[in-house]
Chain A
Amino acid sequence: FFSPTPLLSLTMARRYDASTTTFSPEGRLHQVEYAIEAINNAGTCVGILASDGIVMASEKRVTSGLLAPSKTSEKTYKLCDHAACTVAGLTADANILIDQARLRAGRYTYQYQEAIPVEQLVEHVCNYKQAYTQYGGLRPFGVAFLFAGYDSHHGFQLYQSDPSGNYSGWKATVIGANNQAGKSLLKTEYGAKPKSDDDDDAPEEMETEEDPAEEEIRVPDVTEALRLAVKVLSKTMDGTVPSPEKMELFTMTLAEDGEGCAHHILTEEESKKVVDDVEAEAASAGDA
């Protein structure tokens, strides 16, 4: 999906961008694209699929020290026992969609006495968003989501959705500010073998451009994925020193008793440990 070019403001786009229900002569929906732009200025969210769960890390943007913490989380939301999401964009818009998702999940369970398959939940929210790009003359939702969920059909899944109502499944992805930088880091680091201590023994095979499809992706576990997520956030957060207070780290795994899923937002202490591990790894890599 391409983003609007800087030239847009100088061209005739202005005549076709006021209404969501109108295509431009180039076949674009400008309102939808502007909504996506709004999200590119919002706090970053990283999502990573692990072998034993899912990690979602979000940048917390504290606008004022006087703010009272009213919710347990400002970026991560539980949708049902087996699904959660993080938000990038207009929080007020997100709240409406999160309500929709929760209702849908609940109604499905009421009807079938079973957990809603994750993709169906995502598709429902996306269909709701799509309506605002086609009917009613209302503006689209300025929200992008990362959905994390588990079901018996496809195991752990990670989905991304945007204001157009499009969604796709990912092994790892980033939304919000500097997502391109985050994604490029994930491309190289996700699935890469961890550096072993005896690196010097055998020369590592160089990854050639022709082989990426054949290269076996080694899916990280939740612990590794957390570290990778923090690494990505550090890169997207303008290179400021990564600190636990600015990040919200969330994991979803199977509950230990086997009943349902465990949703966990890391405590400051737990987050600090991950951040410290990442910094130590970076420091030792710098020495090598």
Chain B
Amino acid sequence: MDTVFGVKYDGGVVIAADQGNARSILMYQRNLDKVVPLSSHSAVGVSGPNADLVNFSEYIQKNIALYELSNDGMKLSTHAQANFMRGELAAALRRGPYQVNVLLGGYDESTESSSLYFLDYLASLQKVNYGCQGYASSF
């Protein structure tokens, strides 16, 4: 029942998501942060079951952190992060897929440009100017 929106503009990206975490009539949580920072210059809005939402986003987040630690602070561009994420979705797809649909947005200082990427649970990847995942995509 998630909703995620993303819009790119000149100088950055806006990613918005709801904060609900519910199962049937039980409202577990009203303050779940579904927009997860991946690095100092990027974040991902995630839609899907809570388990994969948290597990997958943290997995990507920690791998990106490891990259920066291992490479003297060098940052992965948004494009590289998106492709890395897609690769992980693709690898898991025919084993045990991550049931997440995401919008990854970031701003790269090296090119002074912002970018937004749409990835779905089937490991598709598309650079977009705006997008939505979850319930919002039906409207």
Chain B neighbourhood of A152, CB < 8 A:
110
Is B76 in the interface zone, CB < 8 Å from A?
yes
Q: Which residues of A contact B84 (CB under 8 A)?
A: 111-112
Residue A120 at the B interface, CB < 8 A?
A: yes
**Contact between chains at A117 and B80 (CB < 8 Å):** no
Q: Known contacts A112-B80, A152-B110: does B74 contact A117 (CB below 8 Å)?
A: yes
B71 at the interface (CB under 8 A from A): yes
| A-B pair number, CB within 8 angstroms | 22
Answer yes or no: B61 CB below 8 A from chain A CBs: no
Closest to B77 in A: A114
- Which residues of B from 81 to 124 have beta carbons under 8 Å from A? 83-84, 87, 110
Question: Chain A contact residues (Cβ within 8 angstroms of B): what range?
Answer: 10 to 19
Contacts of A120 in B (CB 8 A): 71
**Residues of B with C-beta under 8 A to A9:** none
Query: Within the complex, which residue of B71, B74, B79, B110 is in contact with A113, where a contact is CB–CB below 8 Å?
Result: B79
Q: Is the CB of B83 within 8 A of A112?
A: yes
A88-117 vs B, CB cutoff 8 Å, 1 = contact: the mask equals 000000000000000000000011111001
The digit string for B53-80, where 1 denotes a CB below 8 A from any CB of A, is 0000000000000000001001011011
Cβ contact within 8 Å between B77 and A111:
no
> Are B79 and A117 touching (Cβ within 8 A)?
no
Interface contact B87-A114, CB-CB below 8 Å: no
In the assembly, what is the distance between CA of A215 and CA of B80, in Å?
40
> For residue B110, which residues in chain A have a CB less than 8 angstroms away from its CB?
152-153
Bound Cα distance from A117 to B83, whole angstroms: 16
B79 touching A114 by the CB < 8 A rule? Answer: yes
Q: How far is the CA of A239 from the CA of B139 in the complex (A)?
A: 79
Contact A117 B71 (CB under 8 A): yes
* Assembly CA distance A153 to B79 (angstroms): 15
B74-A114 in contact (CB<8A):
no
B83 proximity list for chain A (CB < 8 A): 111-114
Q: A112-B80, A113-B79, A114-B79 are in contact. Are A153 and B74 (CB under 8 A)?
A: yes
Residue of A nearest to B88 (CB): A111
CB of B114, distance to nearest CB on chain A (Å): 17
CB-CB under 8 A from A110, the residues of chain B are 87
Taken together as a complex, chains A and B put the C-alpha atoms of A5 and B110 apart, in Å, by 49
Report the Cα distance A277→B110, complex, angstroms.
40
Cβ < 8 Å to B, chain A residues 195-227: none
Tell me the A109-129 residues at the B interface (CB within 8 Å): 110-114, 117, 119-120
Minimum Cβ distance to chain A for residue B109 (Å):
12
| Distance of A286 Cα from B87 Cα, bound (Å) | 62
- Residues of B within 8 Å of A113, CB to CB, are 79-80, 83
Contacts of A112 in B (CB 8 A): 76, 80, 83-84
| Alpha-carbon distance A255/B22, docked complex (angstroms) | 56
Could you pull out 5 A-B pairs where Cβ atoms are within 8 angstroms?
A: A112-B76, A112-B84, A113-B83, A114-B79, A153-B110
Q: Which 7 residue pairs spanning A and B have beta carbons closest together?
A: A112-B80, A113-B83, A114-B80, A112-B83, A111-B87, A112-B84, A111-B84
| Known contacts A110-B87, A114-B80, A114-B83, then 19 further A-B pairs from the complex at CB < 8 Å, ordered by chain A residue | A111-B83, A111-B84, A111-B87, A112-B76, A112-B80, A112-B83, A112-B84, A113-B79, A113-B80, A113-B83, A114-B77, A114-B79, A117-B71, A117-B74, A119-B71, A120-B71, A152-B110, A153-B74, A153-B110
